[in-house]
Amino acid sequence: MATIEGGRQQNMGRAVLASLVGVLLLAGSALAEDVSRQDRGWKLEPGVNPPSYAVIEPASSNLNTEALVLTCEPAGDRRVLQFQLYLSESGPLMPVGADPRTLRHDPRAEMVIDGHVYPVGMYFAEDFVVLADAVTDRVPSVSNQLLDSVEHGKTMVLRFSLLARHDDKPQPSFDGEATIDLGAAHGGAAVASVRRCVEPEARPSASAAFPQLAQADVRH
C-alpha cells in the first residue's frame, strides 16, 4: 500500500473537496432523486483558462466516495495530471457498510473505459485516494494513453479489490465499484481543457497556492 505524506491531504481535502465538491453538491440538490446527465457531468474550475481541475460525481457506486477530481499537480520542474477520488466520510476507502477490519493490506484497482482495462496504482491520503498509472519525479501521474481514453470515452468504471476473506469462500475479483458517465455534460471537452494546464505556457497548478503540497512525498 502506498501513502502520500506531507500537508497535501489537509490542503487538498479542504480546499478542493470543501469548496469545489461542496459547490457541486449544492448545485445538484436533487442528487438523491433524479439527477440528469447534465448534473452528473464534469464541473470545471470557474473563471480560469485553462482550468487546473475538473470534478465529477459517480453515476452509481457502492463505495464511500463523493467525487472524482482530475487535477493538475507539480512534479519537479513540470506539471502532471492526477485522478483524486474523494471520500464521503472520514476513514479508509471501502464498500458502504463494510467492516474496516476486513480491509486488505494489498488493495488493487483498475479503470475500465468502454471495455478497455487500465490497471492503476492507489496512493492513500487522509480523505482522498490518488489513482495513477505512471509516476513522474516521484509524483503519481496519469499517462497520455489513459487520458486519451478518458477524453474520448463514454463510460468509466472504477473497480477495487479492498476486502480480505478469512473463510473458505473464493475471493471475488472486485468488491467495490463506481461508474462515471464520461459523456455527460461537457464530456471530453472538459478533460481536454484540464489537459492544457500541463503545457509550459499554462498557469501554475492548483497546488501552487499551497507550497507544502509540492513537497509531498510518495512512499511505497
pLDDT given at position 91:
85
Q: Which residues contact 74 (CB under 8 A, 6 or more apart)?
A: 80, 139, 205, 207, 208, 213, 214
The pLDDT of residue 178 is: 98
pLDDT at 96: 96
Flag residues of the chain having pLDDT under 50. Answer: 5-14, 16-18, 28-34, 203-220
Q: How far apart are CA 163 and CA 94, in angstroms?
A: 8
Give the integer Cα–Cα distance in Å for 125 and 114. Answer: 28
The confidence score (pLDDT) of residue 85 equals 97
CA–CA separation, 16 and 53 (whole Å): 9
**Tens digit of each residue's pLDDT (9 = 90 or more) over 62-81:** 999 999 999 999 998 999 99
How confident is the model at residue 126, as a pLDDT? Answer: 80
Which ranges of the chain does DSSP label H, i.e. alpha helix?
A: 8-12, 22-27, 37-40, 144-152, 188-195
Domain that holds residue 146: 2-219
- What is the pTM for the complete model shown? 0.78
Number of domains into which the chain is organized = 1
Residue 20 has a pLDDT of 58
